[in-house]
């Protein structure tokens, strides 16, 4: 292949992008990243204080810095870590590999639903060990510290490649929908922008900006005030949908 020609064509293609001023958006995102870190630190301090003084649990202001949803629940911010419960064991129904493959439908996991608190047996807040015990994930990898300072590891939903991220603070912090899996409201990869708007009227840009028609957005998760769906729309269709803690500290 003629690489000079490839260079030329790449350069030509790159010129298609429209220049925009990202200064304000970058600063907003930076502030939110800083806020998340500050909250993590102060929550830890509160816990230590409680432990030290034996005082009752103090209410941490619920401020996740995300605009889309009013902070309407006083429920507190400590992630639901199912520490008291035994890790769910893989069951025939929840393990992708054990699903009977008697259909040639696009989805080989017709029964899985994303949300409100996880993907089948795999739940937000699980430790890595608990998540592994579900038998649903594989392909573990480490993430670059610079880009993901608070989230050291990733894995994939077995047989699909949908991504699961761990946060040091929160445990399983994000779970992406595998191909063919939809939310309870019927939204999955490939859903149209119109159906997203219908299912989640409050869908907005990632930093609380008014409705994006394209790109990344967040919506509340019906039935779980601590979670959000992150929905990426490209060319009018859902490119990915991820269930994540409202206070996830992995990206954005």
144 binds another protein (CB under 8 A): yes
Q: Which stretch binds another protein (CB under 8 A): 41-49, 62-70, 82-90, 210-218?
A: 210-218
CB nearer to another protein: pick between 198 and 240: 240
The DSSP-derived string for the chain is --HHHHHHHHHHHHTTSPP---HHHHHHHHHHHHHHHHHHHHHHHHHHHHHHH-PPPPPPP---S--SS--------S----TTSPPPPP-TTT-GGGS-----SS-S-TT-EE-SSEETTEETT--HHHHHHTT-EEEEEEPPTTT-TT--EEEEETTT--EEEEETTTEEEEEEPPTT-EETTS--TT-BHHHHHHH-TT-EETTS-S--SSEEEEEEETTEEEEEEEEEEETTEEEEEEEEETT--S--
CB of 95 to another protein, least distance (A): 19
CB of 171 to another protein, least distance (A): 16
Q: By CB under 8 A, name the one of 19, 74, 84, 86 that touches another protein.
A: 19
228 binds another protein (CB under 8 A): no
CB of 157 to another protein, least distance (A): 9
Site string for another protein, 26-65 (x = CB under 8 A): xxxxx--xx-------------------------------
């Amino acid at each position: 292949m003629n690489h000079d020609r490839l260079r030329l064509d790449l350069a030509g293609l790159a010129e298609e992008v429209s220049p925009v001023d990202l200064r304000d958006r970058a600063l907003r995102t930076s502030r939110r990243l800083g806020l998340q870190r500050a909250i993590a630190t102060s929550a830890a301090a509160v816990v230590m204080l409680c432990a030290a003084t034996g005082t009752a649990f103090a209410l941490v202001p619920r401020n996740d810095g995300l605009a889309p949803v009013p902070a309407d629940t006083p429920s507190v911010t400590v992630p639901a870590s199912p520490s008291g419960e035994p890790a769910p064991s893989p069951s025939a129904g929840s393990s992708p590999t054990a699903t009977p493959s008697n259909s040639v439908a696009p989805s080989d996991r017709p029964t899985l639903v994303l949300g409100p608190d996880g993907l089948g047996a795999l739940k937000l807040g699980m430790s890595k060990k608990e998540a592994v015990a579900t038998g649903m994930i594989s392909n573990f990898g480490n993430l670059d510290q610079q880009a993901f300072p608070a989230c050291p590891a990733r894995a994939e939903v077995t047989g699909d490649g949908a991504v699961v991220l761990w946060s040091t603070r929160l445990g399983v912090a994000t779970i992406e929908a595998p191909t063919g899996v939809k939310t309870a409201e019927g939204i999955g990869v490939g859903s149209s922008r119109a159906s997203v708007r219908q299912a989640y009227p409050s869908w907005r840009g990632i930093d609380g900006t008014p409705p994006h028609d394209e790109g990344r957005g967040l919506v509340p998760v019906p039935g779980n005030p601590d979670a959000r769906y992150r929905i990426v729309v490209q060319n009018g269709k859902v490119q990915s949908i991820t269930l994540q803690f409202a206070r996830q500290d992995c990206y954005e």
